[in-house]
């Protein structure tokens, strides 16, 4: 069940593994097939169908696997970029809020106006 789910989620890698496996099988079949053939004209079809086609399948499988790796990294960069954008926006917002508060009350928190002071502070004086 988990394997099926993994295969569905990782369909690129699944197809890559299948292509590489099929390529190896074709390769071996071609090698076995040409062994008992004495004539070169009988061996060449096995070279074409076995070696060439098997090699082609292996190349395609490897390409798909590496493409999946690159795509995964691309998606990770997407997420990272979104997170950075969000954090940068939040940082800018907090900085502008702090700057606005600082200009509204020169001297920062120590220069609170009488209205802003808590009543307890006024009472203690």
Partner 1 sequence: MIAANPARTLAGPWRETQVRVVCAAQLLAVAAVLIATAGSAHTASFDEQTNWLTVAVAGLALAVVVSAAWLLHGRRRLVRRRAGLTTSIAVAFDRPAAGPGVHLAPVATAQMSHYHRETCQLVRGKGAEPASVIEHRRAQRTPCAVCRP
Binding site for partner 1 (CB under 8 A): 40-41, 44-45, 47-49, 52-53, 55-56, 59-60, 62-63, 66-67, 70-71, 73-75, 77-78, 80-81, 84-85, 87-89, 91-92, 95, 98
Q: Which is nearer to partner 1, 28 or 121 (CB)?
A: 28
Asked whether the beta carbons of 6 and 13 are under 8 A apart, the reply is no
Q: Which is nearer to partner 1, 71 or 117 (CB)?
A: 71
Least separation in angstroms between residue 74's CB and partner 1 is 5
DSSP 60-99: HHHHHHHHHHHHHHHHHHHHHHHHHHHHHHHHHHHHHHHH
Within 13 Å, how many C-alpha atoms sit on residue 66's CB side?
6
């Amino acid at each position: 069940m988990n394997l099926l789910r993994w295969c569905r989620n990782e369909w690129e890698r699944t197809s890559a593994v299948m292509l590489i496996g099929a390529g190896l099988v074709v390769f071996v079949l071609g090698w076995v097939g040409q062994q008992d053939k004495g004539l070169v004209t009988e061996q060449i079809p096995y070279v074409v169908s076995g070696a060439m086609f098997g090699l082609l399948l292996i190349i395609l499988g490897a390409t798909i696997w590496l493409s999946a790796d690159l795509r995964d990294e691309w998606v990770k960069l997407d997420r990272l970029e979104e997170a950075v954008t969000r954090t940068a926006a939040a940082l800018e917002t907090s900085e502008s809020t702090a700057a606005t508060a600082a200009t509204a009350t020169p001297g920062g928190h120590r220069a609170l106006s009488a209205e802003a002071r808590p009543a307890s502070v006024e009472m203690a004086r």
